[in-house]
Amino acid sequence: MHIHPMWDELPDINKQLSECILLIKEKTTIENKAIQDTIFQLLDSGGKLLRPAYFLLFSKLGDIKKQNHQQLIAAAASTEVLHLATLIHDDIIDDSVTRRGFETVQSQYGKDVAVYAGDLLLSVYFDLLADATESTEAIKLNALSMKRLLLGELEQKANTYNIDITFRQYLRSVKGKTAQLFELSCFEGAYWGKTSAEVIKKSSQIGHHIGIAFQMLDDILDYSQSSNILAKPVLEDVKQGVYSLPLILALQENKQAFIPLLSKKTEMTPADIDQVVSLIEHYQGLKKAHEIAAYYTKKALEIISQLPDCPEKEILYQLTQTLLNRNF
Amino acid sequence: MHIHPMWDELPDINKQLSECILLIKEKTTIENKAIQDTIFQLLDSGGKLLRPAYFLLFSKLGDIKKQNHQQLIAAAASTEVLHLATLIHDDIIDDSVTRRGFETVQSQYGKDVAVYAGDLLLSVYFDLLADATESTEAIKLNALSMKRLLLGELEQKANTYNIDITFRQYLRSVKGKTAQLFELSCFEGAYWGKTSAEVIKKSSQIGHHIGIAFQMLDDILDYSQSSNILAKPVLEDVKQGVYSLPLILALQENKQAFIPLLSKKTEMTPADIDQVVSLIEHYQGLKKAHEIAAYYTKKALEIISQLPDCPEKEILYQLTQTLLNRNF
């Protein structure tokens, strides 16, 4: 098992993330090896494990003597499990061929395996939560978070091929599909870690802003790297009518310039996409998107800096700064 | 809202089933009308609501004064929600065109709507459970039941196009994909209804046997009605390699007779299916399947008759007898 190298310098987090992955593997060990291998491969494919990592980092702001280690690991693991379930189901919808450089579950094994693998992970998600807590309020919060996450995906879906999509519509979708789970992960880390009421309150806000900035940066990187081979090419998204922040901002400058290209929909060629990327560059879509993402990053860092002073706070600050300023 | 006419003579059950449907609609009222309409249409399509009905019937064996009505309704509703979520996701996998005489979600709106509608129902499933209980043990039991249900579906999937499929393999799949949820529904009705320890124990066994007999009868009816237009034609199942009890039992008599037909797989024609049906008739597949189903029906009725005497017990007995001897 290889934990992403970004956690090499935090051996404690690295070790606990390994425990999370082991626990998820234990819960997804089943007789059907196609499904099991599918899930194990995804677990071993080098994802950043950001959601459980933020969970664990926030938990370290609390009193370790009051914590139940096994419950912490189960709850942290649950955040990654929900993330993976939605990844697998999203790939069915997008008809994606690759994810993290590997063939997607549905491309490799067919959509039936993908549907069941995602559903199985959703059962494991609530199984882990039931292990992690004696409070059905926590279960309720997770069920509602899962619902909001899906509503964010649906908002994105409802806006496909919409060249009039507004920033507000994009933001609503991002808040659901990405920020919701970052918010939940940070909050639950603070909550399960028995931190103070003040830290718990701030943890949600921090996660919310990190999630928004993270998704915006992801969308920016999709475009700025579009001349290389990408794990998940922007071409597919645009062909499927998923228009993200850089394109939305450029569209607002000159919609007419994009119409001849975007109206080809699934018939768009790589050359068409190159033209779209050039137009986005011309209308400063990437620059403007960077500015907006920077606003959310700044907010996240500001609230982190208001946390009580401790070494863990510095780690959280550094990590967030690095993550939201990456160019890879 | 129309509750299936089979509950007309039980006004109390009828009323509570209406409350369940209303609650599910309340929880699935969302901005995305395609998904909402999809779910509402399925809720209004006249399903038998057997799982919440058995839940409610078993709850009536308990002490009404100790019961929390709203929690009972939420828990009963959760059993139907899990059932509907699996129906929707199964139809993606089967590429089914119709369900209950209506076009399936994925055929009508595309597979993306079907994936999300199913996932949304799974979030509502745990949301309802969290409303219905203060015990995370109940949540755990549901997460594990959902997992076993999926493993049953996977067992069926693993046996597609397997002409050597054994009765034992078929039974394992049925226990997971159908009996598990009947068992859970009966058990939870007894449990939430505050019945005695003895009733709670028997409720699981009763649900288990009802579920098996119910699925077998369903599989039998698929074949015996195959000359008419069916809501879910047996032709599709056989083309997709799903071989159920009557065919399995006939295959055991003379595998060679079926090979020329079944080996055509998705190329099978309605005429081929007619031949398969004739062969099953010839090798007494339906008759033998009826005998096996009757064994499980008898077991279910036997255990029901051991319940403490009361009017509700008689209702349960009559209903189960009618359900498992139906020919429609």
How do residues A239-275 score in pLDDT, each as one tens digit?
989 999 999 999 999 999 999 999 999 999 889 988 9
Backbone angles phi, psi at A177, to 5 degrees: -75, -25
Check pLDDT > 50 for residue A235. Answer: yes
With respect to CATH, is domain A10-323 assigned 3.20.20.140?
no
- A267 CB near a chain B CB, below 8 Å? no
Query: pLDDT value at position B232?
Result: 45
Answer with the residue of higher pLDDT: B230 or A160. Answer: A160
- A230 CB near a chain B CB, below 8 Å? no
Strand partners, B103: B98
- Distance, CA of A135 to CA of A192 (rounded, Å): 11
- List of residues 6+ apart from B223 with CB closer than 8 A: B234, B244, B246, B247, B277, B280, B285, B286
- CB contact burial A14-30 (16+ within 10 A = b; e otherwise): bebbbbbbebbbebbee
CB contact under 8 A, A154 and B124: no
Query: pLDDT value at position A171?
Result: 98
Averaged pLDDT of chain B: 92
- Distance, CA of B317 to CA of B61 (rounded, Å): 13
SS3 call for B326: coil
pLDDT confidence band for A233 (50 / 70 / 90): low
CB contact under 8 A, B150 and A31: no
Residue with token string 């119409």: A259
CB contact under 8 A, B115 and A93: yes
How do residues A177-193 score in pLDDT, each as one tens digit?
999 999 999 999 999 99
Please report the number of interchain residue pairs, chain A to chain B, with beta-carbon separation below 8 angstroms: 132
Instruction: Choose among A111, A136, A139: nearest Cβ to B92.
Output: A111
Residues of B in Cβ contact (< 8 Å) with A147: 120, 123-124, 127
How do residues B49-64 score in pLDDT, each as one tens digit?
999 999 999 999 999 9
CB contact under 8 A, B147 and A124: yes
Averaged pLDDT of chain A: 92
Q: What does each C-alpha distance from B275 to A190, B216, B242 come to in angstroms?
A: 65, 21, 17
With respect to CATH, is domain B5-323 assigned 1.10.600.10?
yes
Residue percentage of chain B with pLDDT more than 70: 93
How do residues B273-291 score in pLDDT, each as one tens digit?
889 999 999 999 999 999 9
How do residues A100-158 score in pLDDT, each as one tens digit?
566 777 777 777 888 999 999 999 999 999 999 999 999 999 999 999 999 999 999 89
Mutate to test the interface with A, among B92, B105, B154, B161 (most CBs of A within 10 A): B154
Residue percentage of chain B with pLDDT more than 90: 81
Instruction: Choose among B127, B135, B157: nearest Cβ to A140.
Output: B127
pLDDT confidence band for B231 (50 / 70 / 90): very low
- Distance, CA of B138 to CA of B315 (rounded, Å): 27
Query: pLDDT value at position A51?
Result: 98
How do residues B20-29 score in pLDDT, each as one tens digit?
999 999 999 9
CB contact under 8 A, B135 and A136: yes
pLDDT confidence band for A232 (50 / 70 / 90): very low
Residues of B in Cβ contact (< 8 Å) with A158: 32
| 8 A C-beta contact, residue A180 and residue A82 | no
Instruction: Choose among A92, A134, A155: nearest Cβ to B136.
Output: A134
Mutate to test the interface with A, among B26, B37, B122 (most CBs of A within 10 A): B122
Interface of B with A in 151-180 (CB under 8 A): 151, 153-155, 157-158
- ipTM exceeding 0.90, yes/no: yes
Check pLDDT > 90 for residue A98. Answer: no
Check pLDDT > 60 for residue B186. Answer: yes
Residues of B in Cβ contact (< 8 Å) with A68: none
CB contact under 8 A, B136 and A137: no
Interface of A with B in 26-65 (CB under 8 A): 30-32, 35
Instruction: Choose among A30, A137, A139: nearest Cβ to B151.
Output: A30
| 8 A C-beta contact, residue A182 and residue A54 | yes
CB contact under 8 A, B130 and A122: no
Mutate to test the interface with A, among B38, B129, B150 (most CBs of A within 10 A): B150
- A119 CB near a chain B CB, below 8 Å? yes
- Distance, CA of B71 to CA of B69 (rounded, Å): 5
